[in-house]
Structure 1
Amino acid sequence: MFGPSRYISWVRKFYGHVPYDLGTSGIPNVSWGEMSAGATLPPIDDTSGYGKLVAGIARHNDVPASEVIPALGTAQALHLAYTAVLSPGDEVLLEHPVYEPLVRIGEGVGAVIRTYERRADEGFRVDPERIAAQMTPRTRLIVVTNLHNPTGVRVPDETLRELAKIAEAHSAYLLVDEVYAPFDDLPEDGIFRRSARKLGPNVMAVSSLTKCYGLGTYRVGWMLAPEHLIAEAEATTIATVGHLPLSHAHLGVTALEAVGSLAKRAKALLVGKRELAEQWVSQFPRARWSAPKDGLFGLVTIDGADNLLPRIETNIREHGVLVGPGSFFGIPNGFRLSWATLPAEEFKKGLERLEPLVAG
């Protein structure tokens, strides 16, 4: 059974209902008119859209079409990846801090969840030796988010290759959730050439257009994997939804054609705001943060603090500022701070209203 995701349930209560949103972890939504530049969708019964979507995803990620299966966002892509590899009782090694749905999906397919630490005093890096020491004969999947959710820290390709080799030695797979990975160099030519799928034969990658490009409501996602796992994922799709909507395929094709212009938009929306966040955190002696180089969020922790969730909810009511509570990621004395949503001047106002949470 799939247990409830406490984080997603909490998000639905507050996101979109506060004046200062410093919690949303994706580029603000783009309108259809802005995204499509006047393009018209083909007839709704044009079934060539399915093949065009696969080809578009393959082109965007610079991989063969035979290694692609579309999905409804990264969330469904993760489910496809888990079900393609895991049987009940198999073990999954997840990072900590962790994005809660990664846990819930694993539990829902009957896997045993184990964790490896990404430690604050090590800059939240991934330590291959630590992971290797935790592998067992039942480990089938090592999972990494890149950029790390909630810290925003990038995992170098060299580390991912090491993890793939560790997994291979145990007949296991490495799964990389790379939905935030393009943020260090958003591809203005529309091609993301650095997918982790290309780092090893046993590497799977999941992603979507939801976070980097302002297309969260479109749910254009995918899994990249070896061909035999694509076949397993197709079986899951057939068993659960039959097939994805044809309208979704047509929207996805149009969205992928617009990625270059959407990348330029995203870059313009982010200019200078990470630096504002860093300057703000540095004012508070008890505050630490993950100092990500790329992306649109980082993890702020308060030395000596208890669970910040009640104070975060008080701050929402009294000051209208939303952040992502660290308790939902396994870091109760912290919060995920995002600079995605607001213009720079409004972001600064939101930071000012957030000071009682950090200074109190």
Structure 2
Amino acid sequence: MFPDIDYLDWITGRPEAATHDLGSSDLRRAVPEPDGIVPPKLADLPSPPDDLDLETIIADAYDVGTENVLVTAGATHANFVAMAAALGGKGDGAGETDGGDDRPPRALIEKPGYEPLVATPEGLGATVDRFRRPAEDDYGLDPGRVEAAMSDGTRCIVVTNRHNPSGSRASRETMAEASRAAADNDAILLVDEVYAPFCADEASVFGGPTAAMLPNTVITNSMTKYLGFGPIRVGWLVADADFVSRAQSVMFHVPAISAPGMALTRRALYAETELAEGSRDRIEENRELLAEFVEERDDISGAVPSGCTYGFFSHESADGDEVSEAAWEEGILVVPGRFFDDGDSFRLSLGLDNETVRAGLDAFGDVLDDIGE
């Protein structure tokens, strides 16, 4: 039985209803007219050659083979498929470990963390354990904490990079240490990389670090966050060929990818360099706005990571729900930290254009002033 996901219940409809959206983290682009299909930004971009399929475009971006790529209906779909494949073991049923042990599999998830990444393995029948990414360590990923929290039944370890909700970014070297810990326990490390490209440099895939093709590792990503085409609903996972084959078997149970979505994704990723320039400009502008806003206020605390448009913050006298509710009364969307395992905090996400989020921060500043009175 899949548990309710309180965050998705709470957030549904709010971005559209908000006067100021400081809760949505995707770098959103204009959508088609009501009867349209093609997002305006894609309308005038060149189409890739007919013989260049989507799997090849993604594989080339990660410098892997097409046998290492599985296209999915977004990152949530990719995470579901990856967890199901990891928790099911190597060809065994989801409730059986290799060798006939009938104990339920275990998933190890970061804390604080994104609620759906906890709810999904629970729905798949796993026992969920947690390891900490503490605020006092700037929410950094510590492979030693991962290793210490594993048990014999751990089959899947789930992290986000950048970390959601803090924006903390782990290097590939750190991810390699975590992957070795997973491999030593015969577990799979699942790295949700939807925020990895949120940066100003061009270090790797889409500008950010990737854990792709580290041992016992599967990464997921999508069109939604960095490229800003959430309505297309296409994502992917990258892993070794054996894991991709297992994940494909899961996909047969949940087919959900549209041909138009695949075609639009081909066009977008073929022109990724051009699209990424706009994304990086917005990241740099909005990150500067967020950093200035936090620095100028004495009543909130929290780090604004370099090259990142979102962060996790706390107020000196109000918890996350109190801040979020006060903001919502003024039409401002701010996400309370209880959806990320920390009720004292809240997440600010500046995904929209620079002028829009500037107005939102000004309005939110007035809300914080009222809270302090």
TM-score by length of 1: 0.89
Aligned residue pairs: how many?
A: 350
Cα gap change, 1:358 to 1:280, in 2 (>3 Å): farther
Name 2:149's counterpart in structure 1. Answer: 134
Name 2:130's counterpart in structure 1. Answer: 115
Gaps of 5+ in 1: 43-47
- Helix, strand or coil at the partner of 1:136: coil
Q: Is the 8 A contact 2:29 2:41 kept in 1?
A: no
Q: Is the 8 A contact 2:27 2:225 kept in 1?
A: yes
Residue deviations 1:45-83 (CA, integer Å, cap 9, x gap): xxx88x711111112222211100001110000011101
Query: Which whole-Å CA distance do the structure 1 matches of 2:29 and 2:308 have between them?
Result: 16
Name 1:309's counterpart in structure 2. Answer: 321
Q: Is the 8 A contact 1:91 1:114 kept in 2?
A: yes
Asked if 1:36 corresponds to 2:46, the answer is no
Q: Shift of residue 358 of structure 1?
A: 6.0
Residue deviations 1:198-251 (CA, integer Å, cap 9, x gap): 3x221110011210011111112001111111111111111222x633222212
Aligned alpha-carbon RMSD (Å): 2.4
- Helix, strand or coil at the partner of 1:115: strand
From 222, 227, 239, the equivalent of 1:208 is 222
Give 1:177-256 correspondences, 5 Å limit: 177-185=192-200, 194-198=209-213, 200-241=214-255, 244-256=257-269
Name 2:165's counterpart in structure 1. Answer: 150
From 153, 174, 179, the equivalent of 1:159 is 174
Cα gap change, 1:327 to 1:167, in 2 (>3 Å): same
Name 2:76's counterpart in structure 1. Answer: 75
Q: Is the 8 A contact 1:124 1:290 kept in 2?
A: no
Q: What amino acid sits opposite 1:237 in the alignment?
A: M
Q: Is the 8 A contact 1:62 1:193 kept in 2?
A: no
- Helix, strand or coil at the partner of 1:102: helix
Name 2:100's counterpart in structure 1. Answer: none
- Helix, strand or coil at the partner of 2:109: strand
| Percent of matched pairs sharing the same residue | 30
Query: Which whole-Å CA distance do the structure 2 matches of 1:152 and 1:218 have between them?
Result: 25
Q: Is the 8 A contact 1:284 1:358 kept in 2?
A: no
Q: Is the 8 A contact 1:36 1:258 kept in 2?
A: no
Q: Is the 8 A contact 1:206 1:221 kept in 2?
A: yes
Q: Shift of residue 102 of structure 1?
A: 0.2
Gaps of 5+ in 2: 32-38, 88-93, 96-103
Name 1:9's counterpart in structure 2. Answer: 9
Query: Which whole-Å CA distance do the structure 1 matches of 2:209 and 2:131 have between them?
Result: 25
Query: Which whole-Å CA distance do the structure 1 matches of 2:203 and 2:178 have between them?
Result: 30
Cα gap change, 1:218 to 1:167, in 2 (>3 Å): same
Residue deviations 1:252-287 (CA, integer Å, cap 9, x gap): 211211221211111222333322222322344342
Query: Which whole-Å CA distance do the structure 1 matches of 2:281 and 2:174 have between them?
Result: 30
Query: Which whole-Å CA distance do the structure 2 matches of 1:152 and 1:55 have between them?
Result: 30
Cα gap change, 1:186 to 1:216, in 2 (>3 Å): farther
Name 2:139's counterpart in structure 1. Answer: 124
Query: Which whole-Å CA distance do the structure 2 matches of 1:359 and 1:231 have between them?
Result: 55
- Helix, strand or coil at the partner of 1:94: strand
- Helix, strand or coil at the partner of 2:72: strand
Query: Looking at both structures, which has the greater relative contact order when contacts are Cα pairs under 8 Å and sequence separation is at least 6?
Result: 1
Query: Which whole-Å CA distance do the structure 1 matches of 2:177 and 2:343 have between them?
Result: 31
Name 1:45's counterpart in structure 2. Answer: none
- Greater shift, 67-76 or 275-284, is seen at 275-284
Asked if 1:297 corresponds to 2:310, the answer is yes
Query: Which whole-Å CA distance do the structure 2 matches of 1:170 and 1:295 have between them?
Result: 33
Query: Which whole-Å CA distance do the structure 1 matches of 2:258 and 2:301 have between them?
Result: 45
Query: Which whole-Å CA distance do the structure 2 matches of 1:156 and 1:146 have between them?
Result: 9
